Chains A and B, each alone.
Chain A
């Protein structure tokens, strides 16, 4: 009988370990990417796990299905793949909103799939809840919350500074505090 490896074989390297062994990323890069994957998995259906997104993104790099431009760092490149994966999962979630209408009055059982490209109320609610969850990360920091509100409205850093009256130093300090809060959340292994 052929030897088939078990479903989880500790001898089989995960894509992250392979990328590390091939020196495509550093250990610190992996932690950056973990935090970014946790971030991009926000608002997606619960069955989409951030760790699967992370391993999938690294797999795409390893198999060469995505080529990294020379002027882009590996972390930024993988972050781009994570963003694209998020968009794919989002589209799939939206597609499940397709409504099926059955015409009972007709002799033929006619089923029409009404495809609506706009996000359904569930996705809108999920996105809104995640925005609130992100704001809660910065609950003790009113400046950070102002920055988040500005980012949500699509304002640039300069526009946020003008709108909030923050000096460049205050803005940079707030960004540093935000980075720390993001890393604190990103390094944990709690569910998203």
Chain B
């Protein structure tokens, strides 16, 4: 009997891999995380550590860091 071969879509295959890898990350121990952070020279006690980028502060540069884009300043008096 021939082996049944099923071709899955790339997205299905990707999702299967992502789910499995997410599970690995869920199971990662605190020690493993600290060890990797140390290897990357990240000081987790520092709030500005790159490890916290995107978590406790914005990882991406934002427009308002470079330009005055506060729309409220443009509102006329009384608004």
Q: Which residues of A approach B to under 8 Å, CB–CB?
A: 1, 4, 6-8, 14, 16-17, 20, 27-28, 30-37, 39-40, 42-43, 49-51, 54, 73, 75-76, 79, 82-83, 86, 90, 119, 123-125, 127-128, 130-131, 134, 148, 151-154, 175, 178-180, 182-184, 186-189, 191
Contacts and interface: CB of A to CB of B under 8 A. Distances in A.
Interface residues of B, number: 49
Interface of B: 8-11, 13-14, 16-22, 24-28, 30, 32-37, 39-40, 42, 44, 50-60, 62, 64, 69-70, 72, 75, 77-79
B11 A119 contact: yes
Contact of A187 (B8, B27, B37, B58): B37
B30 A179 contact: no
A180 B36 contact: yes
B58 A123 contact: no
A171 B19 CA distance: 18
A32 B33 contact: yes
A124 B57 CA distance: 33
Given A17-B56, A187-B51, 17 more contacts: A1-B77, A28-B30, A31-B55, A36-B25, A43-B14, A127-B10, A127-B14, A153-B13, A153-B16, A154-B16, A178-B24, A179-B27, A183-B25, A184-B36, A184-B39, A189-B50, A189-B53
B58 A130 contact: no
A32 B21 contact: no
Contacts of A34: 51, 54-55
A42 B30 CA distance: 24
Q: Is the interface of A mostly helix, strand, loop or mixed?
A: helix
Contacts of A6: 64, 70, 72
